[in-house]
Structure 1
Amino acid sequence: MNIDKQTHPRQPLQPNTPQSCLGIMGGGQLGRMFAHAAQSLGYRVAVLEPEAGCPAAQVAEHHVGTGYEDPDGLAALSALSRHVTTEFENVPADSLKALAMRGFVAPAGDCVSIAQDRLVEKHFFTRCGAQTGVYPAPHWGIADQKDVASASETLFPGILKTVRMGYDGKGQVRVRDREELAAAFAAMRGQVCVLEKMLPLAYEVSVLTARGVDGAAEVYPIAENVHRDGILFTTLVPSPHVSPDVAEKAQKAALDIIGELGYVGVLCIEFFVLQDGSLVVNEMAPRPHNSGHYTIDACVTSQFEQQVRTLAQLPLGDVRQHSPAAMLNLLGDVWFEPDSEIAREPAWDKVLALPGANLHLYGKAEARRARKMGHITFVAATLAEAQLALAQACDILGIVAPELA
């Protein structure tokens, strides 16, 4: 499959003046934090999102309350802003392409569409591997029972994933053999899937990158991530385990990938580091990422300000990290008594009394278990101090604390 590099016009653009309006597709917490960053630089923000009272619409100047494919909604967003981005990868790529007919869209719809399909994404990573030396895990597309029967035995045990719409561990099933694969595929009810070989994982890292319309690119420090139940639990930066060689290889691969795409915007790429020290590329998110939230409090330029800069065609910001950071995701579970459905308000006063605590709540009206409600970033003089504060916060909130790195 051929994937053309994306190109954008390079003429001077209007949003360089204060009080211009920037548009964003999606009204979740990433859109909310984008709006805060845009407003700090003097821009107004328009959000297109069907849900009334969504986190981004609470703070944006304009809310277009329609579906993502609604022609009138897209026209209204274009009338408010000729510069539009997205806060999630599953926004219809065709909608981004339609908006691009009226103005400037970053990232481009064709870039987003690659990240929307795990199989297309893996084909792209495989193609990039000739340049980067970093490849995805061995995998096999599953569209029907013939594909189940022809899957190589070397792919077991593996993970069966839906090709589209899976996130935070959804749409994924571990399979030990062909019989389990057949049952899992049947349970997916005809959805196209990809089978990935399970590899001896040591830990996971993510690399946050940004690229401007002029081709200039920056890469943030390596972040090390821990997941629980398929959802990001903690992020430590700098990574306590990654070696200089692996860090350099991951960052170079990320810059090569964003360059190969001709991408404009913020892009996060997740990698696996295996027990033998080798590097495997997992997936990419064409937007700011949960693992990059630490940049708000620990870097000169946050990932959200960087998103604003790329959209407004401003120079990229400084990505230096000025403080070690440990980020803790806050799920709706902490709003309930342990092993109970009795609601409670977390002890934010005790959390905020911890050194280096930076609390970010997303304005979601209802707390639900496994729902991302906010995050806390702890910054300190050393990573060990930041980790200790994070562990203390877990004790306060009734969360099982992670092992210290």
Structure 2
Amino acid sequence: MTSTPGPLPTGSTIGIIGGGQLGRMLAMAAARLGYRTAVLEPQADCPAAQLANRQIVAAYDDPAALAELAGLSAVVTYEFENVPVAAADRLARQVAVFPPPKALEVSQDRLVEKRFLNGIGISTADFVPVDSDADLASALSDFGGSGVLKTCRLGYDGKGQRLFRDFAGDVDGAYAAMGGVPLILESLVSFEREISVIAARGRDGSLAAYDPAENVHRDGILHSSTVPAAVSPATAELAGRNAFAILEALDYVGVIGVEFFALADGSLLVNEIAPRVHNSGHWTEAACAVSQFEQHIRAIAGLPLGDGARHSDSVMENLIGDDVTRALALLAEPDLLLHLYGKAEARPGRKMGHFTRIRPRA
């Protein structure tokens, strides 16, 4: 099942697979629009459980739990891209699931994702599949000894990656060291900056996009997103067109995050897509009338999309691990929105919250 007729009536329940901070913020947005939420998440004290109307404590692929979620929900969505595709397919036979399971299939495997993007005319870094040390040695030779070796599946926030730069050594054992799983070697890209676009497609096919954000990563984790990005209007427009092309090709419903490398000549290479609300779009809750979270709920519920226009320039920063101890001082600042995720324990590399400083548009 891929659709239900008309806008979702208020009071309906939206199912969310995943109970992290993104699920929490989706539950907040749903409540503002008059909807209830039910979260499927194996961790009982997850951030989303503090705000959702109901939590089903079970594995994401538990058949009984999926049946319960389908029975409760008028529509089901998800907050992370590693939802088992088989679980999404099972749900889609009983209830509308947005974004569609096809988006999960494409985004969960870097090799599939890049072939999909190239197939619809969108440029990426050069890439070679790697299934052995011999494959890796050959690919590095093709790329001049440099590249980023990544697991095809399950890597995020810099995990499951190894950088090679001007490498001329022996790669024996490298494949096994990466887990002996399917890998992909991507060529190094000489880019000026990393940007991302948050875009949405409604159930009626309508499209909307937010302005590109310029992103800075530290240790493989997003540190900050600044809007406007330091790119030309033509590059910003190209980013939006690419995002729309991806949405159309996937027959997508909901919000998507598309990450790009911006090159010196103004061209773009897509780095990856995320079929969900995205960390680099958190600035929208402070600088736009309609946040990415509300936009996603609007899209999957069949409501009119917001236009994505921003009323302010902004800089969003993540609070990672012990950074959360800055919260009290941040609250004393003017023109700042602080958002904490309700996580009990601050661990290194764990996203505990974020804040966004806004200022008048330049």
Q: TM-score range by the shorter chain?
A: over 0.9
The answer on whether the counterparts of 1:106 and 1:265 sit within 8 Å (CA) in structure 2 is yes
Shift of 1:180: 5.7
2:83 aligned with 1:94: no
Residue number among 202, 206, 210 corresponding to 1:216 in the alignment? 206
State how far apart, in whole Å, the 2-side matches of 1:212 and 1:382 are.
Answer: 28
| Residue number in structure 1 paired with 2:176 | 186
Inter-CA distance 298–33: structure 2 relative to 1 (3 Å threshold): same
State how far apart, in whole Å, the 2-side matches of 1:325 and 1:351 are.
Answer: 15
Shift of 1:10: 5.6
Amino acid at match of 1:89: E
State how far apart, in whole Å, the 2-side matches of 1:48 and 1:36 are.
Answer: 16
State how far apart, in whole Å, the 1-side matches of 2:170 and 2:338 are.
Answer: 43
Q: Deviations over 1:64-95 (max 9, x none)?
A: 00000100100111111131000000011111
Higher mean C-alpha deviation, range 177-186 or range 102-111: 177-186
State how far apart, in whole Å, the 2-side matches of 1:209 and 1:34 are.
Answer: 16
Amino acid at match of 1:299: C
Amino acid at match of 1:139: F
Q: Deviations over 1:187-213 (max 9, x none)?
A: 112111100011112100001110011
- The equivalences for 1:6-405 within 5 A come to 8-9=2-3, 11-12=5-6, 16-129=8-121, 134-151=122-139, 153-155=141-143, 156-176=145-165, 177=167, 179=169, 181-239=171-229, 241-334=230-323, 346-382=325-361
Shift of 1:318: 2.4
Shift of 1:317: 1.6
Higher mean C-alpha deviation, range 203-212 or range 141-150: 141-150
The answer on whether the counterparts of 1:160 and 1:181 sit within 8 Å (CA) in structure 2 is no
Shift of 1:334: 2.1
Q: How many residues of Structure 1 are paired with residues of Structure 2 in the alignment?
A: 360
Q: Which runs of 5+ in 2 are unaligned?
A: none
Q: Deviations over 1:99-145 (max 9, x none)?
A: 1111100011111111000000000011112xxxx411011001123
State how far apart, in whole Å, the 1-side matches of 2:83 and 2:32 are.
Answer: 26
State how far apart, in whole Å, the 1-side matches of 2:170 and 2:332 are.
Answer: 49
The answer on whether the counterparts of 1:10 and 1:213 sit within 8 Å (CA) in structure 2 is no
The answer on whether the counterparts of 1:206 and 1:271 sit within 8 Å (CA) in structure 2 is yes
Inter-CA distance 137–19: structure 2 relative to 1 (3 Å threshold): same
State how far apart, in whole Å, the 2-side matches of 1:352 and 1:189 are.
Answer: 44
Inter-CA distance 347–215: structure 2 relative to 1 (3 Å threshold): closer
SS in 1 for 2:48: coil
Structure 1 length normalisation: TM-score? 0.86
Amino acid at match of 2:19: G
RMSD between aligned residues? 1.6
Inter-CA distance 33–26: structure 2 relative to 1 (3 Å threshold): same
The answer on whether the counterparts of 2:140 and 2:146 sit within 8 Å (CA) in structure 1 is no
State how far apart, in whole Å, the 2-side matches of 1:225 and 1:348 are.
Answer: 22
State how far apart, in whole Å, the 1-side matches of 2:282 and 2:293 are.
Answer: 9
Q: Deviations over 1:258-295 (max 9, x none)?
A: 11111111111000012343311110000000000011
Inter-CA distance 21–174: structure 2 relative to 1 (3 Å threshold): same
Runs of 4+ in 1 over 4 A off after TM superposition: 180-183
Higher mean C-alpha deviation, range 262-271 or range 178-187: 178-187
Amino acid at match of 1:285: A
Inter-CA distance 80–142: structure 2 relative to 1 (3 Å threshold): same
Structure 2 length normalisation: TM-score? 0.96
SS in 2 for 1:165: coil
Amino acid at match of 2:25: M
Amino acid at match of 1:142: V
Q: Which runs of 5+ in 1 are unaligned?
A: 1-6, 336-345, 384-405
Inter-CA distance 181–310: structure 2 relative to 1 (3 Å threshold): farther
| Residue number in structure 2 paired with 1:3 | none
State how far apart, in whole Å, the 2-side matches of 1:318 and 1:274 are.
Answer: 28
